[in-house]
Amino acid sequence: MKPAPFRYERPATLEAVLALLDAHGAQAEILAGGQSLMPMLALRVARPDLVIDINRIAGLGDITAIPDGGVRIGARARHAEVMASPLVPALMRSALAHVAHPAIRNRGTLGGSLALADPAAEMPCCMVALGARIVTLSSRGETHHDAASFFHGLYSTARRPDEMILRIEIPPLGPQWRFAFLEEARRLGDYAIAGVALAMGAGEVRLAFCGVEPAPRCLPATEALILAGADPLPGLVELAPMDSDDAPEAYRRHLAGVLLKRALREVGHG
């Protein structure tokens, strides 16, 4: 279980990364935390010609407050750093407790998690629920994506091969906002079979699932029912859950309902 040969570059600047992406694009893999890429390399399911290590770029992992509210998280911020940051919404911190294990969180990054877009991963659905903006960068400049439209499907995002994720911007969410993250996984730290991220403000609700559909997205019908104070479960017909032997469609749908009800109870709604 050793990776196939690849070339390795560790640029010190964003410009150098972009130049490499321009030249190699789809044949290159960015190496951030490596907590997903390294296993894929070892299993030889990822076979890039070039690995671009972005760990030498200064400031790429910074977590800073945005002057007019909100927080900006550099793509290479490690899960453990995000978890420990008081600037970050509680939703992310509680969701990160479900992400892997301490040593993996010491290395794995927010940008890596979003770029990978594993359907069962916790961070992408949190981004949707927080109304985050994902900023990518290429030699053509920055592109700002709403999280809700960034995740296209299984391991697929709006990011183009010549782009890297640069940072994530979480809009300001005042103290009236309540959050809940809940998931069902076989073991602590396993990817979720189903998980829910819920954010509730005054007259506003945002909700997204992981593990249920191929990618997290907004669920307007369900959100409307919640706002109306009605039973939200009928709204979940808008879900088109994935189907597999170990987690069939009906099971994921059932869990989505259970988790949503619990999440609503946790934020004091219903």
Partner 1 sequence: MTDLALPQDGWIGRRMPREDTRRLVMGAGRYVDDLACRGELHAAFLRSPYPHAGFRLDLSQAKALDGVAAVFVAEDLARVCGGLICPDLAFPGMVSPQQLPLVAERAVYQGEPIALVLADSRAVAEDAVELIAVDWQELPAITRLDQSLTQDAPPVHLGLASNLGWSTQIGTDLRDAFAGAALVVETTLDFARNTGVTLEPRGLIAQWDAGALELRISHQMPHQLQLHIAELFGVAMSRVRVICGDVGGGFGLKMHIYQDELATIAAARLIGRPVRFIADRMESLMADIHAREHRIHGRMAVDAQGRIIGFDIDDLHGMGAYSVFPRSSTREAMSALAVIGAPYLHQVFHARLRCALQNKVPTGQLRAVGNPIGCAITERLVDLAASARGEDRLVFRARNLLPEAMQPWTSPSGFRLFGLSHHRCLERLQKLMDLPKLRAEISDACASGRWLGLGFASLVEFTAPNSRSYGPTGAPVAAVDAVVATLEMTGDISVRASVSEIGQGIRQSLAQVMADAMGVPAENVAVLTGDTATVPHGGGAWASRGAAIGGEAAWQAGVALRAQILEIAAALLQAQAADLDIRFGQVVDQHGSARMGLDELSRIVTLQSYLLPDGMQGQLSVSRTYRREADSALPNNGIQAVLVEIDPDTGHISALRHWVVFDCGRVLNPLLVEEQIRGGVVMGLGQALLEACSYDSGGQFISATLADYKVPMADDAPDIEVALVETPYAGSAVGAKGAGEAGACAAPAALLNAVNDALAGQGAQISALPITPLDVLRALGRVPQA
Partner 2 sequence: MDNQTLSIACTINDRAIRATIPVRQSLVDFLREGVGLTGSHVGCAHGVCGACHVVVDGVVVRGCLILAVQADGAEISTIEHAATTSIGAALQAAFFERAALQCGFCTSGMILQAAELLAQNPEPSRDEIRAALSGNLCRCTGYHAIVDAVQMASARLSDIAP
Ligand X SMILES: Cc1cc2nc3c(=O)[nH]c(=O)nc-3n(C[C@H](O)[C@H](O)[C@H](O)COP(=O)(O)OP(=O)(O)OC[C@H]3O[C@@H](n4cnc5c(N)ncnc54)[C@H](O)[C@@H]3O)c2cc1C
Name which of residues 184 to 223 contact partner 2 (CB under 8 A): 187-189
Cα separation, 62 vs 158, whole angstroms: 23
- Check binding of 38 to partner 1 (CB under 8 A): no
Site track 82-101 with partner 2 (rule: CB under 8 A), x = hit = ------------------xx
- Quote the DSSP letter at residue 78: B
Choose the one of ligand X, partner 1, partner 2, none that binds residue 248, judging by a C-beta under 5 to 8 angstroms depending on kind.
partner 1
The order of strands in the sheet holding 178-184 is 178-184, 194-201, 204-210
- Check binding of 7 to partner 1 (CB under 8 A): no
Cα separation, 91 vs 95, whole angstroms: 6
Q: Which residues are within 8 A (CB) of 133 and not within 5 positions of it... i.e. 6 or more apart?
A: 144, 145, 146, 147, 168, 169, 171
- Quote the DSSP letter at residue 259: H
Choose the one of partner 1, ligand X, partner 2, none that binds residue 229, judging by a C-beta under 5 to 8 angstroms depending on kind.
none
How do strand 7-9 and strand 50-53 relate by DSSP bridges?
A: parallel
> Helix or strand or coil: residue 217?
coil
Answer whether 98's CB lies under 8 Å from 181's CB: yes
Choose the one of partner 1, partner 2, ligand X, none that binds residue 184, judging by a C-beta under 5 to 8 angstroms depending on kind.
partner 1
- Check binding of 6 to partner 2 (CB under 8 A): yes
Name which of residues 8 to 67 contact ligand X (CB under 6 A): 29-37, 39
Give the number of other CB atoms < 10 A from CB of residue 37: 20
Q: Identify the CA nearest to 206 among candidates 143, 92, 129.
A: 129
Q: How many residues sit close enough to partner 1 to count as binding (CB under 8 A)?
A: 26
Considering only 189, 218, 242, 261, the residue that binds ligand X (CB under 6 A) is: 189
Name which of residues 91 to 150 contact ligand X (CB under 6 A): 99-100, 104, 108-109, 111-113, 115-116, 121-123
- Check binding of 53 to partner 2 (CB under 8 A): yes
CB of 206 to partner 2, least distance (A): 28
CB of 34 to ligand X, least distance (A): 4
Question: Which chain residues interact with partner 2 by CB under 8 A?
Answer: 1-8, 10, 31, 34-35, 38-39, 41-43, 49, 51, 53, 55, 80, 100-104, 106-107, 187-189
